[in-house]
Amino acid sequence: MPHFIVEYTDNIKEEANLPKLFEEIHKVLIARDTIFPIGGIRSRAIELKEYRVADGAEDDAFVHAVFKIGAGRSDEIKKEVCTALFEVMKEHFSSLMAKRYLALSMELIEFSEAGTYKQNNIHARFKK
């Protein structure tokens, strides 16, 4: 962990440039490698083809991100990291938002390690 998952409406697929968004998100998280192990960082996107926004009268779009982390970080750290991640999202989509109706949102999901199963040999590359 952490995982950054983006759902986005298909009507912005060409302009969304999600690889660039993920690059910037990873920079934020890698800069906090004492909080989040680099080998556990993941990003992915889910394109939505079936959706309705507001009253359905316009070609509205949205991007919703879920930031999933394991439990154990302080409220201050969670707030600081989430604020930094959402700032990246706002900057990344600012030009698109200036041209069309677009809603951005992000939520933090923190879960207990109980019931979570993982195996990862990527972490070994980043041991100091």
| Residues known to be catalytic | 2
Q: Which residues contact 22 (CB under 8 A, 6 or more apart)?
A: 4, 43, 45
Residue with tokens 């960082």: 41
Q: Cα torsion at 17, 1, 73, 29 (round to 10°)?
A: -40
Does residue 63 contact residue 13 with C-beta atoms inside 8 Å? no
Burial 1-16 (b: 16+ CB within 10 A, else e): bbebebebbebbeeeb
Query: Which of 21, 13, 14 minimizes the C-alpha distance to 5?
Result: 21
